[in-house]
Copies of this chain bind each other. A is one copy, B any other.
Amino acid sequence: MRVCLVGVGLIAGSLGLALREKNQTLSVVGLGRHAETLERGVTLGVLDEWSLDPAIALAKADIVVLGVPLGATANVLSWIKPHLPKAAVITDVGSAKGCVIEDVEAVFGELPVTFVPGHPIAGTEHSGIDAAFGRLFFGRRVILTPTERTSQEATQAVETLWSQAGAHVVTMSVEHHDRMLAMTSHLPHMLAFGLVDMLAGASDHEEILRYAAGGFRDFTRIASSDPVMWRDICLGNRDALLEALAAYRSDLEKLAHFVDQADGDGLEAIFNQAKSTRDAYRHWFES
């Protein structure tokens, strides 16, 4: 079994480490634009070999994993397309799936039956191959969003790959994925970026950030995430994110209205609803 990682950052790098630890008969080859990064991949144990030439790296690949930022998907697909083995299964790791499928269709004319859109729900605020670690996916979910065109064999192959990395694989529709991720990940990232941006704009922001650090370490941590990656996610999942932003802004407007009107009952009702929901699902949050 030969896996080709196209782009070797935090996600693909961690996958390479996990696979090579788990499965000695599998070989991992890296394809990218920077020799230093790929050579670093060999040093760190992520890769068996690498090339800057797609014809060499992709030869005999059984599975090709696109580990590039969403915004680079179309260009990278065009670059590798002429060299893809006909039977090779292709998957990606992008945080939005509708836009990836559009890019694939634009490059290939139609979605190849061998293409399985994927999204590992794992990551840190760090990026790059040096941040990679083999246990990143352990016990985490990987969402696959095969379409009607996708072959069951291809989906099965990608499912096996992620299972070997220790992940739980679930499948769902593209639309469901994009809507759910908009609400549970993309919107909260916007809120964190917005909060830190707003605090940074205050005249006494140094003191303010010192106090914010005490209470919101984990929330503001995500504002240290890669700006280019998040720009691409926002643009890639634009419709679902706009919908989530609109719903959230309407909630916030309601809260501001209650504060403005000194409507204690209105505030308490929202806080109660939030607390009882959070408490009802406590087992998920605290596991």
Q: Residue A82 at the B interface, CB < 8 A?
A: no
In the bound complex, CA of A209 to CA of B212 (Å): 25
In terms of DSSP, what is the predominant structure of the interface of chain A? helix
B249 touches A264 (CB 8 A): no
Kindly report which residue of chain B lies nearest to residue A258, judged by CB atoms: B234
Q: Give the interface size class of chain A.
A: 35 or more
**Interface-lining segment among A11-19, A51-59, A219-227:** A219-227
In the bound complex, CA of A111 to CA of B217 (Å): 36
Choose among A217, A227, A228, A247 the residue with the greatest number of B CB atoms under 10 Å from its CB.
A227
B183 touches A202 (CB 8 A): yes
The answer to whether A251 and B194 touch (CB under 8 A), given A184-B199, A264-B235, A268-B228, is yes
- Beyond A188-B212, A193-B270, A213-B287, 20 additional pairs, beta carbon < 8 A: A183-B208, A188-B195, A190-B252, A194-B255, A194-B274, A196-B277, A199-B277, A201-B247, A209-B284, A213-B281, A217-B218, A219-B219, A234-B258, A235-B264, A238-B259, A238-B260, A242-B256, A242-B260, A249-B252, A252-B252
B residues in contact with A210, CB < 8 Å = 281, 284
Report A's interface with B, CB cutoff 8 A.
71, 121, 140-141, 180-181, 183-185, 187-188, 190-202, 204-221, 223-228, 230-232, 234-235, 238, 241-242, 245-249, 251-253, 255-256, 258-260, 262, 264, 267-268, 270-275, 277-279, 281-282, 284-287
B residues in contact with A71, CB < 8 Å = 264
Stoichiometry, copies per complex: 2
Kindly report which residue of chain B lies nearest to residue A141, judged by CB atoms: B214
Kindly report which residue of chain B lies nearest to residue A256, judged by CB atoms: B245
B211 touches A184 (CB 8 A): yes
B residues in contact with A215, CB < 8 Å = 121, 184-185, 188
B residues in contact with A209, CB < 8 Å = 277, 281, 284
